[in-house]
Amino acid sequence: MHHGYNYVCGVPVLTVFPKPISGSGWSFGAKLIEDRVLAVLLLVMILPVMGFIALCIKLDSPGPVFFRQKRYGFNNQLIDVVKFRTLRCEQQDDLARQLVTRNDPRVTRVGRFLRHMSLDELPQLLNVLAGEMSMVGPRPHALDARAGGRLYKEVVEKYAIRHKVKPGITGWAQVNGWRGETDTEEKIRKRVEHDLYYINNWSLTLDLIIILRTPWALLKGRNSVY
């Protein structure tokens, strides 16, 4: 009763699930400007820091500075998410079949610090500039990520709704402590619960609150792997 309908090529179609952030109009434009402006400003500000991190990675262990991994983006499209490499090169897990856990021997010395402060996510500003990600949104998950031995979509019934918006560098779940490893089904349920809250209540004000709370959430380190 509460669903509207539109016409596509003269054929009436039912709107089963409206896109939370419209593909046209002020909301889409405001979100796009927010992403591009913040991404450019942050990249300019932290470029020296990223250069220093890259140098530390090269000195700490052999292998590339960056790590690319296929993850789900908007509308289940696959995107190449860019991160600083934190695992030993010969022990990389492209599909995340084995989640990184506390004191994981695969993680390098520099990688431990980067993961604790989420600094390994900084290169994803390039994904934002490319239009594949947003500054704020549900975190993109690896294709084979599991909780309690089960795929995320098998644990949470409404998991796919997360893909109705672009994934983000930070999100409502992360600033409320639900970041890091998801070794139990309860953890992924709580993360998705917060993601759905964000999708259903999106606003520029909420985005600003999340961005301002992110540094404090990182300093607290709640639920981080290291």
More confident residue, 84 or 15: 84
Residue 214 pLDDT exceeds 60: yes
Residue with tokens 């020296």: 48
90 vs 135, residue with greater confidence: 135
The answer to whether the beta carbons of residues 125 and 35 sit under 8 Å apart is no
Over residues 149-205, the pLDDT tens digits come to 888 989 998 898 898 899 999 999 999 988 877 778 899 999 999 999 999 998 889
Residue 87: CB atoms within 10 Å: 20
Tell me the mean pLDDT in the region 208-226.
78
131 Cβ neighbours under 8 A, 6+ residues apart: none
pLDDT at 104: 80
CA–CA gap between residue 179 and residue 198 (Å, rounded):
15
In the chain, the amino acid numbered 76 is: N
Residue 93: band (very low, low, confident or very high) from pLDDT cuts 50, 70, 90: low
List, in sequence order, every beta strand (DSSP E) within 98-165. Answer: 134-136, 146-147, 150-151
Contact 128, 135 (CB under 8 A): yes
pLDDT digits (tens, 9 = 90+) for 11-65: 888 766 656 665 445 777 888 899 999 999 999 999 999 999 999 999 999 999 9
Average pLDDT over residues 94-110: 77
What integer is the mean pLDDT of 206-221?
Answer: 88
